[in-house]
Amino acid sequence: MRGWLFRRRILLAWGVALLAAAAIPPASAATARLTLRPNTGPPTSSTTVSGSGFASGEAVTVTFDGTTLASPTTSGGKFSVSVQVPATSPPGAHTIMAQGASSGTTAQATFTVRTDWIQFHFNGVRSGFNPFENVLDPGKAAGITERRRTPVGTSVLASPVYCAGRIFVGSTDGSLRGVNADGTVAWTYSVGSAPTTAAAVPSGACTVMVGGADGSLAAVDGGTGAQVWRTTVGGAVLAPPLYAPGGKASSFKVVVGTQAAQVRAYNETGGQLFNTPVGGPISQGPVLVGIPHQGAQFIVATDTGVVYALDATTGKVLRSVVLDGAVTAGPAAGDLGGGAAVFVGTSAGTVYSLSQTDLGIRWTFGAGSQIVGTPSIGDPGPVGSRTGIARLFAESADGTVRAFDEVSGNPALAWATALGAAPAGATALADGVLYATGTDGVLRAYDATSGLVLFTSTSMSASGSAIVADGQVITGTTAGDVVVLGG
């Protein structure tokens, strides 16, 4: 009897132990972690996925919203792999998950898809082309409607910029404002005079640089609106500043052209790096290009019709070319398939393609009317239907929008259409759609491949240059509003 009781107690103890073991998850499941660096970026960007707490030597499946992106093998329960965000991923939060093949261990982290439009005409080459937009294709753009409207004082003539989900815009009352995603004004900073289009540093809450007609250049905290630094540049700043990233994550340059015929560069703390005199006032934003065997250079155009190339480190003038009139559009840089070029338009109605290497004239096109607004350069097709060959879009003062391809080293007119009024700013290109604003206050959208009109707004007092990011078209108005439209 005693032996039977002893055996029963042993069996009960084993049962309790087995139940307890089943209730406790494996150590790897309890401690598995996943980190993403970075955890925010546009479609097609890369992020490094690092995992720990998995079984040693097991295969791990890494997925993005359920789509497999990679299958690394762990070493000591850890792995690290770079993956690319799918091109069709819409703006917002997405789940990256890792699952061990043998242990079943899982861990996940959130990646936020977001595309910033950080400076005038999108980027450092002033292409005006957002290659990451994947919401407002030609079909969706035809049905865009106003989502919200935020009063920001007086007329908004400068182009908005968009960084970290917030809109930054200047108005003629001499203020720069940060506008939240819900349309509320987060802060107001006094520039003291009519501000330029801003340039934002895409890090954290974004540092925003803005020039003023009073000859000032300021850096403002994008989160709070507090002034980081402010300096005087010796002449009115009418052209948008250029943000140029530095060699380190926290370093950058901001380059401005002034009405005093100077090109000035400053570092992230406001220290002047160079001051280069040129042969005339500068009313168009500088461009940054990288030239093989020559390095980085700034391209600057003047109101006297001269285009300069400057060494990006020293500011030394490397070369220049004289055109047939004041530069009234551009510069913008890109490649239409025939070689890297700089595109500008003049008061004489000429569109120029200049070689980035030596500023030699590659070709010209006579439009018969002054070229206005910085040209847009990019693939005219929507996401999923692109050829990889860019197209040039230019506007003239007579209200004509033209699209150019390059064939055998010469311009080939793809289409031309009447805007209905003189252009009020530069065009914007995204997901197969070209957006243009007229002086009649109407925003229009065109199929970038065919030139077909997709959308015409009512007279919403639209002004300046619209931008397109995260499925939104953002524009200012002469009535003093920031308007956001979407599908």
User: pLDDT tens for residues 187-237?
Assistant: 999 999 999 999 999 988 899 999 999 999 999 999 999 999 999 999 999
pTM of the predicted structure, to 2 decimals = 0.92
Looking at residue 460, its pLDDT comes to 87
* Fold of domain 129-183+285-486: Methylamine Dehydrogenase; Chain H (2.130.10)
Going across the sheet that includes 361-366, the strands are 327-335, 340-346, 350-355, 361-366
Looking at residue 24, its pLDDT comes to 40
Residues forming CATH 2.60.40.1930 domain(s) in the chain = 27-113
User: pLDDT tens for residues 247-292?
Assistant: 776 789 999 999 999 999 999 999 999 999 999 999 999 999 999 9
Going across the sheet that includes 443-447, the strands are 129-130, 428-430, 433-437, 443-447, 453-456
* Fold of domain 27-113: Immunoglobulin-like (2.60.40)
Looking at residue 11, its pLDDT comes to 43
Looking at residue 249, its pLDDT comes to 64
Residues forming CATH 2.130.10.10 domain(s) in the chain = 129-183+285-486
Least Cα distance to 162 among 469, 436, 478 occurs for 469
How many angstroms separate the CA atoms of 233 and 175, rounded? 19
Tokens of 151: 């009063």
Residue type, 189: Y
User: Which residues are CB-neighbours of 14 under 8 A, at least 6 positions away?
Assistant: none
Q: What is the separation of C-alpha 105 from the centre of its chain, rounded to a whole number of angstroms?
A: 38
Looking at residue 445, its pLDDT comes to 97
Residues in the chain, pLDDT under 50: 1-2, 4-29
